[in-house]
């Protein structure tokens, strides 16, 4: 039983140490300090790393170097142009009412033309 528990703790230690080394940055302490903490106090250091030391973000891939090179050479995507409406709420409501009135008048004109037979069907 002790062998299994020791193996699990050792695997957790190794996995944590690899994660500390591969992470781009760390919280609260410099990355090298985290490496020493995890090595000197394996179980507690590993738990602390996963609880507070690791920065949450995109996972680090094994082939991160080519991605970084591509990101540096790729131009930044342009932000889509947003049309900002500078009208006040009252002006917007007045425009909407005008549009509704215009639509009603067009419908009334179309109805009258149909009654008189002026509009082609």
Tens digits of residue pLDDT in 56-109: 765 555 555 555 555 656 666 777 777 777 888 899 999 999 999 999 999 999
List the beta bridge partners of residue 26. 54
DSSP 51: I
* pLDDT score recorded for residue 94: 93
What is the rounded average pLDDT for all residues in the chain?
81
* CB 61, CB 67: distance < 8 Å: yes
Shortest CA distance to 21 belongs to which of 8, 9, 34? 34
pLDDT at 54 over 90: no
Q: Write down the pTM of the prediction.
A: 0.46
* pLDDT score recorded for residue 7: 92
Task: Give long-range contacts, CB 8 A cutoff, 24+ apart: 27-34.
Answer: 27/52, 27/53, 27/54, 27/55, 28/52, 28/53, 29/53
* pLDDT score recorded for residue 60: 53
* pLDDT score recorded for residue 99: 95
Per-residue tokens: 24: 């781009």
pLDDT at 121 over 60: no
Contacts of 61 (CB under 8 A, 6+ apart): 67
Please count the CA atoms within 13 angstroms of the CA of 51 that sit on its side-chain side. 7
């Amino acid at each position: 039983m002790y062998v299994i528990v020791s193996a699990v703790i050792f695997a957790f230690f190794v996995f944590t140490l690899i994660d500390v080394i591969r992470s781009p940055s760390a919280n609260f302490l410099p990355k090298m300090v985290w490496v020493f903490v995890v090595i000197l106090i394996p179980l507690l250091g590993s738990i602390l790393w996963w609880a507070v030391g690791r920065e949450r973000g995109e996972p680090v891939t094994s082939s991160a170097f080519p991605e970084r090179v591509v990101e540096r050479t790729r131009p930044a995507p342009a932000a889509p142009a947003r049309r900002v409406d500078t009208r006040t709420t009252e002006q917007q409501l007045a425009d909407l009412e005008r549009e509704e009135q215009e639509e009603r008048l067009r419908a009334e004109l179309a109805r009258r033309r149909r009654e008189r037979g002026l509009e082609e069907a």
